[in-house]
Structures are given as structure tokens and as C-alpha cells.
Amino acid sequence: MVNLDLLFAIIFYGILIIWFLKQRNRFEVHGKIVALYKTKIGLKLMDRLANIAPRFTNVLGHIGTVVGFAGMAVIFYFLTKGTVDLLLIPDAAPAVAPVLPGIRVPGLPVLSFWHWILGIFFVATVHEFSHGIWARLYKLKVKSSGILFFGPILGAFVEPDEKQMAKISKPKQLAVFSAGPFSNIIFGFIFLLLINFATGPFYNGLYDGVGIEINEITDGFPAANAGIEAPVVLTAINGVPTISFDSFLNATKDITPNKQLILSTDKGEFNLVAGTNPDNASRGFIGVADFSLKREVKDGIVEKYGAWFSAVFTWVHMLIFWLVIINFGIGLFNLLPLGPIDGGRMFLTAMEGIFKDKKRAHKVWAFVSFFCLLLIFINLAPYLWQLLLWLLKPVMMLGAFLG
């Protein structure tokens, strides 16, 4: 079966490479993996937006600073706690997951290539444009805007004058730095409201749940010992239907250790005996994880709206869903006190204000940045392995075909 995401990626990046080669003199390359295509697009709009209500925008910028430091504390805590859990608790999920197509993150659907490209580009554009608005609010020159390529990742950038930035007050610097993550968090809430009160209810009206799709079976536990292989759709437990998350929770809430279970699935029925939950000895455990609701279009929908409607609406609905995830994910990740990203610059500015001695401030900033980088690497290791396997899959399939 053709991997459409991989095919789209090859075509898309093939076109980008041709464009890059033809416009090579217009790109500014840094470190061989970052390429900037500088333009003046959007600079006048930044000026207009910054001057519509400057007092309100200034207050909003300082609110963004407070939200930014609060978000920094929250994401740093969860990253640290999640890493400790990952190292000490069996089968614990990583605290950080890459938003990349082809990589399965527990609790989320697989991200498609076009949802990824459009989501990342929208979020990056809003992020960088917000930096530009607050830079112009404080009369900082914005030299350029444009498209950024960080390896295969497509994004956007604005280029404020860093010399002027160093001369404004620290509260104003913090407002500029926090503007990008703060705007992502705001848009995350906007899209969350949209999906909860508009597209979500309509989407649920198009589909019926037919079962719980299980995407992970833990080795050594009853489900694996019974011969169940993922992915599998669970439709009932001991005759109790599991066609929604509520019914699934209802069917599993009374499972105790050593209880006899019959699991009805799309691959047949399986008899097993529940084990003991590692986290709660009074609860049963069958060793399944990473659930999603399997849906089918309701009867009459195709006749009412046409065969294409449910597919198109679902695509749009999933784009909004991923805009929620990507906005919150990138907004919070950028608040980590790490190196040159927004949170790192905020943290360094705060340390310079606290210690007065720039050398000491930079030492604290460097230590915290390295610690964050180490935590991120530990959490991303399993996903980087998945990405490598996804990229090598066509090569292995070709080798098997030729062999």
C-alpha cells in the first residue's frame, strides 16, 4: 500500500529543493541546517497593529510576560517530573513528544503530512508576527521577515534590531520575548473553543463509535499472553459494549486481579485472566495502552450530504484539532529556559536583573539550558527511533522486494 504521507513529503520537499537551488542567492544559510529567505512582507501590517491601541497592547504584553514565566515554571516542572517517571516507572510515557508526521504519540491520532505542514506554518507565522508587533510597539526596527527552514521543518521569522533591543528596559524586552508563546497560547484557546462548540459537536453527529482502537500491547501481560496484537479494535468486554470512551470506562472499572475476561475484537474473541495493576494492587490489569475511538459514518449521512462531505469536514476538523495541539505545544515548549529560544532569553534577562553580575547570570542560564536539553533528549529518544524506522521503511520494503 502506498504511503501517501511519504509520497506527499517527497513531492513537497522536491519542489522546495528546486526552488532553493534556483533562488540560492536570496537565502541566508546558518550552520548548514538553517536557511532564511528574507522579505519585507508584513512589516507595514505590524506597524498598523502595534498602533491601533498602544496602551492596551502594552498592558497585554506585560500580561504575556506574567503568563510566560508561569508557563515556564509549569513546563519545567512537568518536563522534570516526566523524565523521572520515564526513568523509574515501567511503560511511562515521555513528557515531551515531537509533533511530526508518522510518529504515534499515545492519546493522539497519527499526524498527517499536510496537517503538519499547515499547522506548523500557521503557528510559526502567528508566533513570529507577534514578536514583530511588540517590537514595533516599542519602536524597535524590524529588519526583515520571511520563511525559515530548520532542516525539513518549515517556519517563519522576523528580525528585530538586536542592538536596539539591548537598549530598551528589561520589562519591554520580556514583553517582546514572551509575545510569541503568549499568542500561541491565546490561539490555542480560540481553536479549543471552536472545536468544542462548533466543529466537534457536528463531527460527533456524523459518526458512530464502533469500538476502542488499542495501539499498544505491553509484553508479559495478559493481553499479549493471549495473543492479541496491535492495532486491534475492542468492541466488548464480557459482553458489555465498548463503543465509546464512557462505555469503555464502564466496562473496565470493575476489573479486578484474576477476573476471567472475554475480549471481543475485530480480530475475534480472546479469553484471558486479568493481572494486577502495577500502580494499584486492588485493580486488574490486562496490558493495553494508547487508545483511540474507532468511528464509522452514520447511516444516511452519505445520502444526505454526499460521499465527499464527511471526508472533507473530517479533514478540516482534524486541522483545527492539530492547531490546538501545536499552538499549546509550541507555545509552552518555547517557554522552557533553554538557550536562544524565547523562554531562554526571558530566563537570561531575569537572571541579569536578579544577579546584576552578567557572568554569574550567564553561568546559571547555561547550566539550566544544558539541564533542559538533557531532559528533552531523554524524552525524545524513543520517538527519534520511531522516526528513523518510518524513514527507513520504504528502503526496507524496496530491499525486501528486490531480494
Range 309-332 average pLDDT: 93
Report residue 154's pLDDT band, with 50, 70 and 90 as the boundaries: confident
| CATH number, domain with residue 260 | 2.30.42.10
Identify whether residues 102 and 224 lie together within a single domain.
no
Half-sphere exposure of 250 (CA within 13 A, CB side): 11
- Gap between the Cα atoms of 194 and 200, Å rounded: 8
Identify whether residues 192 and 237 lie together within a single domain.
no
Measuring CA to CA, which residue among 189, 124, 168 is closest to residue 150? 124
pLDDT at position 351: 94
Domain end residue (candidates: 286, 305, 339)? 286
Q: Is the pLDDT of residue 97 over 60?
A: yes
User: What global pTM score does this model have?
Assistant: 0.83
Q: Is the pLDDT of residue 249 over 90?
A: no
- Taking only the tens place, the pLDDT of each residue in 170-217 is 999 999 999 999 999 999 999 999 999 999 998 888 888 889 998 888
Is 250 part of any domain?
Answer: yes
Residues near 352 by beta carbon (within 8 Å), at least 6 away in sequence = 170, 358, 361
Which run of H or of E encompasses 272? strand 268-273
For residue 243, what are the domain limits? 219-286
pLDDT at position 110: 83
Identify whether residues 162 and 115 lie together within a single domain.
yes
pLDDT at position 75: 94
Identify whether residues 351 and 282 lie together within a single domain.
no
Identify whether residues 271 and 360 lie together within a single domain.
no
Measuring CA to CA, which residue among 136, 168, 164 is closest to residue 42? 136
Is 242 part of any domain?
Answer: yes
Identify whether residues 160 and 113 lie together within a single domain.
yes
pLDDT at position 140: 95
Q: How many whole angstroms from its chain centre is CA 40? A: 29
Is 310 part of any domain?
Answer: no
- The percent of residues above 70 in pLDDT, for the chain, comes to 94
Identify whether residues 194 and 224 lie together within a single domain.
no
Q: Is the pLDDT of residue 144 over 70?
A: yes
Q: What's the number of domains the chain is made of?
A: 2
Q: What is the dihedral of CA 278, 97, 318, 10, to 10 degrees?
A: -130
Identify whether residues 106 and 134 lie together within a single domain.
yes
Report residue 54's pLDDT band, with 50, 70 and 90 as the boundaries: very high
Is 298 part of any domain?
Answer: no
